[in-house]
Structure 1
Amino acid sequence: MAILRRIGAEGFRNLKGVDIELDPVSNLIYGPNGAGKSNLLEAIYYLCYLRSYRNAIEEELIGFDRDGFSLEGVGADKTAVVRLKDGKKKVILNSVERRRYSDYAGWIDCVVLTLSDIWIVRGSPTRRREWLDILISRIRPDYYRELIEYRSILKQRNQLLLKGRMDGGIEAWTDRLVAVGKRIYRLRHAIFPEIENIYQELSDDLRLESTITYQPSTEPESFRADLEASQPRESEIGQTTVGPHRDEIVIKKSGHNMKGYGSEGEQRLSGIILRIVEQELFKKKKKDPILLLDEPFIEIDNNYRARVEELLKRSHQLIIASTRDSNWGRRFKINGGRIEVAG
């Protein structure tokens, strides 16, 4: 079971001298807006995946008047240290420097839930594809490798389309795109039924009457034929119009598209369900992620709040950031980037 026992942070955004022992079950980080609560959750996420969940570039993670940052996380049987200084990053796991992300990934996992998750539901298809790609990559590292290769091939093919190069040169890139695209489709088709079932169960628990479906722009067996059929259109616009990069994940409420017809409360609740789906899928793959919650209940309708809280409490380790103190779990007060044990 993955437990984060201790987190240390220095120079990460506004965090200063952070070194705290976490409770294995429940933790509350409270303080005023701008105190550093979300920064601490971001630091934990960065220790897990070497990236920001806010999609910030690494230079933006360095505190004001600092030349770098350092993070340390102590788990049940592993210790990770990440240092960034003068643009150079060093990643250490169990006292061994790791130069490849694949040698570091998976030492501990987390799922983060924020108010911006509503945009997975409300936003463009790209947001939902990104959510799906990140989720599958976390449980199937081979998927991430296929995705990187696919994007590289797609970029090259699109460049030829933009230049109007419809000669033999584009055929080689089409062959590669189809081969890698088929592998991506097989992985998506293998995992999405689990996602669909978990989402449905959670929706039923919350009485949201919502569904999620995967709508591919093509199928593995027809990918090449569809590319050939769309070639005139692709030549006009200079873009590849079918493939995994054009798929859609459709979320509905009572048969209507949640994006266009769902209320803000329903969209927000659907976003929460998507994050809990991540958590439950991790569990099915024998991984117990830490659940990071950034003001999770501030904009949830009272009709759903109690049921959402019950679902979230299924987590084996919770770390909640809030502006409000409460008598819940191990409590830490944060202000100005400095944190202290409150109880």
Structure 2
Amino acid sequence: MLVNNIHLECFRNYKKLDLSLEAMLVILVGENAQGKTNLLESIYYLSRGSAHRSNRDKDLINWNESYFKILAHVSREDYDYRLGFTYDEKGKKLTVNGVKRSRIGEASDYFNTVIFAPEDLKILKGSPSERRNYLDSLISQLNPQYNYYLTQYNKVLYQRNNLLKKLIYKRESVDTLVIWDSQLSFYGSRILVKRFDYLNRLMKNAQVMHSSITNSRETLDIKYNSSLTYDISWDVNKIQQGFEERLVGERNNEIKRGTTLVGPHRDDFTVTVNQREVKVYGSQGQQRTCVLSLKLAELEMIYEEKDSYPLLLLDDVMSELDESRRNFLLKLTKGKVQTIITTTDLNALPQSSLKEALIYIIKSGSAKQLNFS
């Protein structure tokens, strides 16, 4: 998969930009707050229909403007296409070859990215919701059905929690909960089955990467921590039954607290190295290595699913990695994964890589090619 060029209008600090990206390694260099990360974010947006750093599309619009537009020409082994997103007062629109698509989530059917940024350490160091969001985002990019289950689950959860709050004051009948319990357990059990599967695949790929980076000195493991009791041998119907029975068992407690206490919205996963939890006991270097292993594992998972590598977006992380990890990363991706790197200092990258790269100087929302020799 290759992004040949990108066109931006009124996106972040870019009034208008047309940029060729026809190289396997693209480097964006410049001082902070000039637009390097914004450019990466526009590419990420094309694959998800959402931003990496913001939950509100209107925050992505250039100052004093009323819309933004992102267009790109993307090539895969078997076809080329033009992928675009526009956002204005009428909402968000995805187009493929100029034709509007009905679902924003279809973007991941055509284009995929993996991004690694300093804030991704939250996957390990942050709250359980950070890890759930990370896992949900990965699975949704690979499995559209999962995204549907997740959307429906969250709608049911919202309605069920509203009912529980009313039951505190006996404004509704307890019998109404039975309907929501059935729906919540239906969608929730299917979410859990997908999470078990994809997290196991992520772990296996991450273990290979982590072992290579650490020269087999460390062993990485990932454990899913569910708020439900289950057995790995259970099928989806058995999990659904157990989920519904647990909701019945927690009913009085949930009514007292006015919220749903069990389900995938309460779950977490733990990353360990040599059987010690990295969040608690890992050094900064170990934490970075674990996140790097997860990101490289994402590349392989997407390749297994799509038969094409996604774009790798590295946002100001090369200076955070030591020389051996930088070299490992660039060697692993060379020639097979289009990689776009932002940096404030070209000296943070190997000289051999600079000679092969397409390099742009980013300044005040503009880009100028640098001829490196």
Report the TM-score when normalising by structure 2: 0.86
Which of 287, 296, 307 aligns to 2:317? It is 296
Displacement of 1:90 after TM fit?
Answer: 3.5
- 1:87-102 matches, within 5 Å, as 88-102=91-105
**1:163 pairs with 2:166:** yes
1:119 aligns with 122
How far did residue 105 of structure 1 move? 3.6
Say yes or no: does 1:182 pair with 2:189: yes
d(CA) in 2 for partners of 1:37 and 1:188?
A: 33
Match of 2:224 in 1: 214
Deviation of 1:185 after TM superposition, in Å, equals: 1.8
- 1:204 alignment partner in structure 2: 211
Structure 1 Cα separation of the partners of residues 106 and 273 of structure 2: 41
1:279 equivalent in structure 2:
299
Q: Residues of 1 paired with 2:94 and 2:364: CA distance?
A: 27
What secondary structure sits across from 1:99 in the alignment?
Answer: coil
> What is aligned with 1:35?
34
| Segment of structure 1 superposing worse, 23-32 or 89-98 | 89-98
Q: 1:25 to 1:267 in 2, by over 3 A?
A: same
Q: Deviations over 1:33-66 (max 9, x none)?
A: 1110000000111122211011341111111222
Note the alpha carbon deviations across 1:305-337, whole angstroms, 9 max, x for none. Answer: 433443444752111111123444111111000
In structure 2, C-alpha distance between the alignment counterparts of 1:305 and 1:100, rounded to whole Å: 38
Conservation of the 8 A alpha-carbon contact between 2:48 and 2:141: no
1:329 aligns with: 357
Moved more, 205-214 or 173-182: 205-214
Are the aligned partners of 1:203 and 1:211 in contact in 2 as well (CA < 8 Å)? no
* Cα separation, 1, equivalents of 2:30 and 2:258: 50
Identity %: 30
* 2:234 corresponds to: none
For the pair 1:225 / 2:245, whether they are aligned, the reply is yes
Q: Which runs of 5+ in 1 are unaligned?
A: none
Whole-angstrom CA distance in 1 between matches of 2:361 and 2:344: 10
Contact 1:9/1:72 (<8 A) preserved: yes
1:251 is displaced (CA, Å) by: 0.5
Residues 27 and 192 (structure 1), Cα distance of their counterparts in 2 relative to 1, 3 Å cut: same
1:98: Cα distance to partner? Answer: 2.0
Summarize the alignment of residues 251-262 of structure 1 with structure 2, pairs less than 5 Å apart. 251-262=271-282
8 A contact 1:212–1:249 mirrored in 2: yes
The amino acid of 2:30's aligned partner reads G
Q: Which moved more, 1:30-39 or 1:232-241?
A: 232-241
Partner residue of 2:261 out of 230, 241, 244:
241
For residue 135 of structure 1, what is the aligned residue in structure 2? 138
